[in-house]
Amino acid sequence: MRRLVLYSLVSFVLVCVITSCKNEQELAFGRYFANGKVLYENHCQNCHSKEGQGLGLLIPPLTDTVFLKANKKELGCFIRFGLKKEIKINNTVYNENMPADDHLSDMDIAQILVYVTNSFGNNQGYYSVLEANTDLKNCK
């Protein structure tokens, strides 16, 4: 009997810990997404446009693409250091120049990426500032 009580107590505590962690992450997600939207409007939208569709052959789209998923860990590097190489997105080749934006902090970049990778048809979930710290240290 004692054991049973103890067991139920432990599982109750575990469930509480797990659900509060989840809520915590959901809250963080909401915060990142909202801030990321504002940062996107100020730093990216001019080129990539409001719906992320890009502009003809000059600016690639940020809509749900294999490229965005395959390069998830490097997206922050593109923002901080710019991108100037031939890339292929939805069978279209782009070879233009995205300027570096070195005013954005790791947190800004994490928030922008949460917004971008969960908008325009993307659904990649949360990306924390800790992940951004690591990925930005590994930029090639």
Number of Cβ atoms within 10 Å of the Cβ of 8: 10
Of the candidate spans 9-17, 27-35, 62-70, 118-126, the one that interacts with ligand HEC by CB under 6 A turns out to be 62-70
The amino acid sitting at 133 is N
The nearer residue to ligand HEC, 31 or 85, going by C-beta atoms, is 85
The amino acid sitting at 39 is L
Interface pattern 71-110 for ligand HEC (x via CB under 6 A): ----x--xx---xxx-x-x----xxxxxx-x---------
The nearer residue to ligand HEC, 31 or 88, going by C-beta atoms, is 88
> How many Cα atoms within 13 Å fall on the side-chain side of residue 19?
6
Residue count at the site for ligand HEC (CB under 6 A)? 28
Whether the Cβ atoms of residue 132 and residue 71 lie closer than 8 Å to each other: no
Number of Cβ atoms within 10 Å of the Cβ of 90: 11
In the complex, minimum distance from the CB of residue 85 to ligand HEC, in angstroms, rounded to a whole number: 5
The nearer residue to ligand HEC, 11 or 105, going by C-beta atoms, is 105
Residues 12 to 51 in contact with ligand HEC, rule: CB under 6 A: 43-44, 46-48
Which pairs with CB-CB distance under 8 Å and at least 24 residues apart come from 99-104? 101/43, 104/39, 104/43, 104/79, 104/80
The residues that touch ligand HEC, with contacts defined as CB under 6 A, are 43-44, 46-48, 59-62, 67-68, 75, 78-79, 83-85, 87, 89, 94-99, 101, 112, 116
